[in-house]
Amino acid sequence: MPSIDLTGKAAVVTGSGRGLGLAYAHALAAHGASVVVNDVDEAVAEQAVKSITAAGGTAVAEVVPVGTTQAAEQLVGRAVEEFGRLDVLVTNAGILRDRVLWKMTDEDFDAVITTHLKGTFTCARAAAVRMREQGEGGTLILVGSPAGQRGNFGQTNYAAAKAGIAAMARTWSMELGRAGITVNAIVPIAATAMTETIPAFAPYVEAMKNGEPLPDFLRKGEGFGTPEDCAALVPFLASEAARSITGQAIGIGGDKVALWSHPQEISAAYADGGWSPETLADAFPTSVGAELQTVGIPAPKFPEA
């Protein structure tokens, strides 16, 4: 079994004061990386740093909301200032402003796109510049979501941002390959402050908080567990063991790890000379439209009472 050793590497994890981001930061530090913890709340960021150092890791806090070029350069600069380099970037920072399309405001849309999509772009750009200057490769880990892969009711802004993040991972894996920089999107599913609000999950999350294990139908069937269950993927992708893995979307949660497919053509039909609306109406239902694709995140399959 290969050893995952990140000693000497420096990482930035955005939005890592709590939840999944904190689990990623802990996992990187536990495997030897020095970590810049990022949050918008100074007290939360400092507490996260204390928890990492108490466990024997190395971490510093940088308090700034991601989205702008200035914030991205500030984060990368802090890693270089403190640790002399940057090897790993995890773009985890995010917010939610859920509303159905006809009720979503410009502010709702812009806030989520700025944090998730533009924040991923600006941070990855700043990291790529630094990693290319170092000339030793690196790792970009972009945090996606099932909503970005499948769509989700009430999440126009969030789903669009996460779909864009998966597309950027594929694009950047090509652009940065020659520099030895791997780029992957991860698709975590875990019990967090957001999923606790889903009524179907609430009793199981509450039981877990009281020390009870999650049942197998959640951990295996739904791939649903704790943030720590998702965290193992991050140091793995940052390690030499994953140097050949790039441009992928990888799901993890509970006891499950999975590879998401890339969008691709699944059926085709042809008409000599091209198509008209009428010939499409005639042929579509029995050719490419015979089995249309589903949308949305499948509802959990709970056992019958």
Residues serving a catalytic function are 145, 158, 162
Q: Are 253 and 223 in contact (CB under 8 A)?
A: yes
SS3 244: coil
Instruction: Write out the two tokens for 152.
Output: 């989700």
- Residue burial 167-188, b: 16+ Cβ < 10 Å; e: rest: bbbbebbeebeebbbbbbbbbb
| Diameter over CA atoms, the chain | 70
Question: Which segments within 94-233 are labelled E, that is strand?
Answer: 138-143, 181-188
Q: Report the run of H or E that residue 156 belongs to, with start and end.
A: helix 156-175
In sequence order, what are the beta bridge partners of 38?
Answer: 62
Q: Using CA atoms, how far apart are residues 213 and 200, in angstroms rounded to an integer?
A: 16
Beta strands at 256-259 and 249-253: parallel, antiparallel or unpaired: antiparallel
Give the C-alpha distances (Å, rounded to integers) separating 184 from 84, 126, 260. Answer: 24, 17, 11
Q: Using CA atoms, how far apart are residues 210 and 212, in angstroms rounded to an integer?
A: 6
Q: How many CB atoms lie within 10 A of CB 228?
A: 14
